[in-house]
Amino acid sequence: MANVRQKNAKTAVVLFSVVAGMIGLAFASVPLYRIFCQTTGLAGTPSIRSQAPEKATDIDFKVRFDANVNTELAWKFKPLQKEITLKLGEERLAFYEATNLSDKTITGSAVFNVTPLKIGQYFVKIDCFCFTEQALRPGETVQMPVSFYVDPAIYEDKNTRDVKTITLSYTFYPVKDEQKVSAVRPSATPGNKG
């Protein structure tokens, strides 16, 4: 009987570690999912690279711009151009404009995606205002640039060959953790917090 008991305890320990491992895996899935989306462009996650290709093609392509603001953020936010036509592989610069409508300095950060969702990996950002948090003083208006290109490989992928227009969309959210913001960017919140 003692023998069975020992064996039971051993099996139970193994099974409890499997349970612990699966809980760990559930939490590990958070960074893994992010990495997976970034590398595969899943769910319209654009790629980020440091440089456009040397030579652009002569194929025309359209990019449209969309802007949204979360209701908790008292900002006006709009693209300065509705759409542009560019060549595949050509690096372009586009601007968005944000105005702080409140009488407080507010920090916001933008999340972004592109549609159709399947072309995420072919829309490449070189630099973007959305990579950092943006602090606007009361009534301040700023123009914010994004530079990008569309990877010509989009024409070599049979799943994305039909796409002629990409929509780039941003949504600005207030940065909730004020303390963290002032720690990271002390100049962004000059004294009139809250």
Partner 1 sequence: MANAAGAHHDEHHDHYPSFFSRWFCSTNHKDIGTVYMFVAMFAAIIGGGMSWYIRLELAEPGIQFIQDKQFYNVLLTAHGFLMIFFVVMPGTIGGFGNWFVPMMIGAPDMAFPRMNNISLWLLVVALLMLLISAFVEGGVGTGWTVYPPLSNSIYHPSPAVDFGILSLHLAGASSILGAINFIVTIFNMRAPGMTLHKMPLFVWSILVTAFLLVLALPVLAGGLTMLLTDRNFGTHFFDPAGGGDPILWQHLFWFFGHPEVYIIILPAFGIISQIVSTFSKKPVFGYLGMAYAMAAIGVVGFVVWAHHMYAVGLDVDTRAYFTAATMVIAVPTGVKIFSWLATMWGGSIEFKTPMLYAFGFIFLFVVGGVTGVTLANSSADLVFHDTYFVVAHFHYVMAIAAIFAMFAGWYYWIGKMSGKQYSEIWGKIQFWIFFIGVNVLFFPQHFAGLAGMPRRIPDYPDAFAGWNYVSSIGALITAVGTLLFFVILIRTYASGAKAEQNPWGVGATTLEWQVPSPAPFHTFEDQPDMSGKAPAE
Provide the 3-class DSSP secondary structure of residue 124.
strand
Contacts of 179 (CB under 8 A, 6+ apart): none
Least Å from the CB of residue 55 to partner 1: 29
Site string for partner 1, 99-138 (x = CB under 8 A): ------------x-----xx--------------------
Number of residues written out for the chain: 194
Distance (Å) of CA 66 to CA 14, 44, 71, 108: 52, 14, 16, 17
Q: How far apart are CA 94 and CA 82, in angstroms?
A: 10
Least Å from the CB of residue 56 to partner 1: 26
Q: How far apart are CA 181 and CA 193, in angstroms?
A: 11
Closest CA to 109 of 193, 194, 181: 181
Closer by beta carbon to partner 1, 21 or else 139: 21
Least Å from the CB of residue 177 to partner 1: 7
Closer by beta carbon to partner 1, 89 or else 120: 120
Instruction: Answer yes or no whether residue 11 interacts with partner 1 by CB under 8 A.
Output: yes
Site residues, partner 1 (CB under 8 A): 4, 7-8, 11-12, 15-16, 18-23, 25-27, 29-30, 33, 37, 42-44, 70, 111, 117-118, 159, 171, 173-174, 176-177
